[in-house]
Structure 1
Amino acid sequence: MNVIPKVSQLSGRVWRFLGCNPGHMTLQGTNLYLVGTGPSRILVDAGQDGFPEYIETLSTFLKDHKISLERIIVTHWHRDHVGALDDMKDSIFSKYQSPPLIHKFKRIEKPEHDVIPDGYTRINLTDNEKIKTEGATLEVLFTPGHTSDHASLYLHEEKAVFSGDNILGEGTSTFEDLHDYMKSLERILETDPTIIYPGHGPVVEQPKDKIKYYLKHRREREQQIFDVINTTLKPITSMEIVSSVYTDTPKQLWRAAELNVIHHLEKLIKEKRVRQKGDKYFLADEGKL
């Protein structure tokens, strides 16, 4: 395993901080990126609340290098990317500087998942807008799929993409909407990136191969799910599909895998290839149960 240090310089304008929140879904932890070359810079994502080691590392680095944060761009609403804003406000911003601007796409559905803590000024992101700081130009890409409010960022000076959780440094990502997710992967591929800075895991140094693998993997997974339904003699539940398809995945991750299966099933239902009754699924041409 490629061990990620707490702080590492990835290029002349990008530093990576590890959120120190390891887990099954976060891998070694959430990656946060400090972008720019001047005394005032942009932070991509905020990290997860309740992990003081990360806050102390970031705070010490900013203080020692005499750097302030002018903006934080949040890629999506998940707690491990936005949760530490409260911790930052109480430790970093109450001591060394005023709170920076927070940029984020608005989450239309489930507004309870779209809350920024008091004390910050929020600016809603818009697709294709450019956010500049000394030494860096970030172009905002609306890339829903992992979540409905997901943003990726294209760093023009490096032809690099901050992919949030749409693309990981290890393994594959979960998603809320498979159709949107596939479209977003294709959009990132169209930027012709030379490198990807992911929300979790090591830097992706062969980004186009990785994205093509993701697309191929999803198409193959959909076929696997369809084949299980096709060869089963009776209607089948989503978890039964997981046990047949995700044989190499640890059982503690099966619930997350089930969400992926359900999203594939939703896509197949929209395409009228599969039908659902209760918690069971069967081929659309099998008629009534």
Structure 2
Amino acid sequence: MMSLTLEALPKVEQLSARVIRILGLNPGNMTLQGTNTYLIGTGQSRILVDTGETNKPEYVSLLRETLQQHKTGIHHVLITHRHHDHIGGLEGIFPLLDQPPKVSKVKADKQEKIPDSLQSILTYLSDGDKISTEGATLKVVTTPGHTEDHFSLLLEEENSIFTGDCILGQGSTVFEDLFLYMKSLEKLLLLSPTVLYPGHGPVVANGREMIEQYIKHRNEREQQIVNVLEKCTNPVTPEEIVQIVYKEVTEPMLLKAAENSVTLHLDKLRKDGKAKCITGDSSESKWCLIPNSNI
């Protein structure tokens, strides 16, 4: 994520007849205005998407006030991915509820550290699963890339999507695997959503257009990297590519982030069969294009 002039967001806002956004009250460089948590449904018990961070009593109080105002509770919590600013506040909301809610997420391939207190209530989701509550039907859309366990949710009654950190309301997001991330963006594009409810930042009213912008930005960056590889007679390092592609960047922290981004782009080109790594697997590795790879 990058430094932005952030749009001011209210702490609580009714976004549609069946969606209320409650800010996690954890603003920062990586979380923008804070984590968006969403209360979904119209009945006396609803679904909560994401829970913010650990030890945020102000958020817990805000959620309590919202539940009381709407005379409702929470019967199911959906965690879009494993990052602490989405799952960290989970146990903090339990005292607000008459009984522990069902908690669901997508299972990661790597070993996950699940607190003992969650073992009995945690269930795992798969692509296409549906979760219903009064007034709302959510369909699970697995969207790995930001993290391997990331998923989005299609709200069928609105044709809108809760995108987690796959797409933000402002700026661009980070990712662990660009190859998977691009496939996830294409998957969301096929759904042609009207509205996006992101994990951070304001609601996106032109959902399909925003997804197209994300794809276009990544493809343009990839082409810049390909152009460098085509012009270099010898294999080059990610750092050398950064010096050419990110000429305007001088701040050390941003340069490091740019180098990580370039490395992930190179790894995607490798998975696409268009580039190869000559030596090692670190930032000092040297890369070149594969001849006749139809770039």
Q: Kindly tell me: are residues 281 and 72 of structure 1, through their superposed partners in 2, closer, same or farther at Cα, counting changes over 3 Å?
A: same
**Aligned pair 1:252/2:280, yes or no?**
no
Against the structure 1 CA distance between its residues 259 and 117, is the aligned structure 2 distance closer, same or farther, given a 3 Å change threshold?
A: farther
What per-residue deviation string (whole Å, max 9, x for no partner) do you get for residues 20-39 of structure 1? 11122111111111000001
* Equivalent residue runs for 1:209-228 within 5 Å: 209-228=209-228
Q: The residue matched to 2:277 in structure 1 has which SS?
A: strand
Whether contact under 8 Å (1:143, 1:152) holds in the other structure is: yes
* Superposition map of 1:124-273 within 5 A: 124-232=124-232, 235-247=235-247, 251-270=252-271, 271-273=273-275
Query: Which residue of structure 2 lines up, in the alignment, with residue 35 of structure 1?
Result: 40
Deviation at 1:153, TM superposition (A): 0.4
Q: Say if 1:20 and 1:239 are closer, same or farther in 2 by CA, change over 3 A.
A: farther
- The residue aligned with 2:3 is none
Amino acid at match of 2:85: D
Is the partner of 1:2 in helix, strand or coil? coil
Q: SS at 2:126's partner residue?
A: coil
Which ranges in structure 1 are unaligned for 5 or more consecutive residues?
A: none
1:273, CA displacement in angstroms?
A: 2.2
> Would the alpha carbon gap of residues 18 and 107 (structure 1) be closer, same or farther in structure 2, given more than 3 Å must change?
same
1:98 equivalenced with 2:99 (yes/no): yes
Distance 1:43 1:248 in 2: 42
TM-score, length-scaled by structure 2: 0.87
- Is 1:8 the counterpart of 2:7? The answer is no
* Whole-Å separation in 2 of the counterparts to 1:18 and 1:87: 15
Query: 3-state DSSP class of the match of 1:224?
Result: helix
* 1:51 is aligned to 2:56: yes
1:267: Cα distance to partner?
1.7
CA distance in 1: counterparts of 2:203 and 2:83, whole angstroms: 21
Distance verdict in 2 for CA 1:13–1:285, change over 3 Å: closer
After TM superposition, give the deviation of residue 243 of structure 1 in Å: 4.3
Aligned CA distance change for structure 1 residues 285 and 105 (closer, same or farther; 3 Å): closer
1:65 to 46, 70, 76: 70
- In the superposition, relative to structure 1, how do residues 239 and 58 fare at CA in structure 2: closer, same or farther (>3 Å)? farther
AA aligned to 1:104 is K
Do the aligned partners of 1:230 and 1:282 also contact (CA within 8 Å) in 2? Answer: no
| Count of equivalent residues | 280
Aligned to 1:107: 108
Query: For the residues of structure 2 that align with 1:277 and 1:96, how far apart are their CA atoms?
Result: 55
Residues 1:179 and 1:13: Cα distance change in structure 2 (over 3 Å): same
Matched residue type, 2:66: F
Structure 1 residue 274: deviation in Å?
Answer: 3.5
For residues 150-207 of structure 1, what are the alpha-carbon distances to aligned partners after superposition, in whole Å with 9 as ceiling and x for unaligned? 1110001111000111111111111122121111111111111110000111111111
Residue from 275, 278, 282 that aligns with 2:277: 275
Shift of 1:247: 4.7
1:121-172 Cα deviation digits (max 9, x unpaired): 0110011111100000001111111111111100011110001111111111
Higher deviation after alignment, 73-82 or 55-64: 55-64
Q: 1:262 to 1:158 in 2, by over 3 A?
A: same
Q: Which runs of 5+ in 2 are unaligned?
A: 1-5
TM-fit CA distance, 1:252: 3.3
Indicate the larger mover: 228-237 or 69-78: 228-237
- Cα distance in 1 for partners of 2:220, 2:148 equals 24
Q: Distance in 2 between matches of 1:254 and 1:101?
A: 42
Amino acid at match of 2:209: D
AA in 1 matched with 2:21: R
Deviations 1:194-250 (A, max 9, x none): 100001111111111111111111111111122234445655432443344345566
1:50-106, Cα deviation, whole Å (9 max, x unpaired): 322222211222133321110011111111110111322xxxx23542221111000
Amino acid in structure 2 at the alignment position of 1:266: D
SS of the residue 2:71 aligns to: coil
**CA–CA distance in 2 between the matches of 1:240 and 1:59?**
52
Contact 1:106 1:125 in 2 (8 A): yes
Residue 202 of structure 2 aligns to a residue whose secondary structure is coil
Give the 3 Å change call, closer, same or farther, for CA 83–253 of structure 1 in structure 2: farther
Q: State TM-score, norm by structure 1.
A: 0.89
